């Protein structure tokens, strides 16, 4: 998934060079040059240093951010292999409770067969069940300390001392 860059650090009225953009976005200057050469980011390349207007950079970052963000339907999961939202294969998914309010919806991608996961709220589970078949799985048990701890060590209580015994 593409990195999200902080567009709020860019001033719309300023003009930046490649190095300043890289510093403001916390990325490598070669990344900014690649955006310019690909035609994604407009810049004045007629002379050195290349200059980028702040308003153009903000527009580029905004468009890039909306391209990254994907809205999912309640019954869809995002497949990282296909890089697309998909309905689980066979319209079947498993739900495993994680917290009292949320759980993990797991299904198979119909295109590539990889596992898809999505964290959903417990209250949304009925709306998801209206679209696909959801099997509620029992949560895996957690390791908890016991009230009566068992130990492999046996302690003999004979008059043992921990120091040297004095004879004589």
> If you write DSSP's letter for every residue of 57-89 in order, what string do you get?
HHHHHHHHHHHH-----TT-EEETTTTEEEPPG
Highest mean pLDDT among 13-22, 66-75, 129-138: 13-22
CATH architecture of 7-68: Orthogonal Bundle (1.10)
Residue 63 confidence class, pLDDT cut points 50, 70, 90: confident
In this prediction, residue 1 carries a pLDDT of 44
State mean pLDDT over 47-70.
Answer: 87
In this prediction, residue 151 carries a pLDDT of 61
* Cα end-to-end span (Å), the chain: 80
In this prediction, residue 139 carries a pLDDT of 64
In this prediction, residue 168 carries a pLDDT of 53
Q: How far is Cα 29 from Cα 19, in angstroms, rounded to an integer?
A: 6
In this prediction, residue 56 carries a pLDDT of 94
Residue 156 confidence class, pLDDT cut points 50, 70, 90: low
The whole-chain average pLDDT of the chain stands at: 84
- The pair of structure tokens assigned to 26 is 């916390």
Lowest mean pLDDT among 7-21, 35-49, 60-74: 60-74
Highest mean pLDDT among 128-137, 141-150, 155-164: 128-137
Q: How far is Cα 106 from Cα 121, in angstroms, rounded to an integer?
A: 14
For CATH 1.10.1660, list the domain ranges present in the chain.
Answer: 7-68
Q: Which of 72, 78, 73, 71 lies closest to 116 in space, CA to CA? A: 78
Prediction pTM value: 0.49
By DSSP bridging, strand 133-137 and strand 92-97 are parallel
164 or 136: which leads in pLDDT: 136
Percent of the chain exceeding pLDDT 70 equals: 79
Q: How far is Cα 40 from Cα 67, in angstroms, rounded to an integer?
A: 13
State mean pLDDT over 59-88.
Answer: 84
């Amino acid at each position: 998934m593409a990195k999200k860059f902080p567009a709020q650090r860019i001033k719309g009225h300023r003009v930046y060079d490649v190095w300043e953009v890289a510093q403001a976005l916390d990325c490598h200057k070669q990344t900014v040059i690649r955006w310019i050469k690909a035609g994604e980011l407009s810049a004045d390349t007629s002379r050195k240093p290349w200059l980028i207007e702040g308003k153009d950079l903000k527009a580029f970052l905004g468009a890039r951010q909306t391209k990254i963000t994907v809205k999912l339907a309640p019954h869809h999961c995002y497949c990282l292999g296909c890089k697309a939202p998909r309905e689980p294969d066979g319209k079947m998914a498993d739900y495993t409770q994680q917290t009292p309010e949320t759980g993990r919806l797991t299904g198979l991608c119909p295109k590539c067969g990889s596992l898809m996961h999505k964290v959903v709220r417990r209250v949304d589970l009925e709306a998801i069940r209206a679209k696909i078949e959801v099997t509620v799985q029992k949560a895996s048990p957690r390791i908890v300390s016991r009230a009566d701890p068992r130990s492999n060590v046996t302690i003999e209580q004979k008059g043992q001392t921990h120091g040297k015994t004095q004879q004589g």
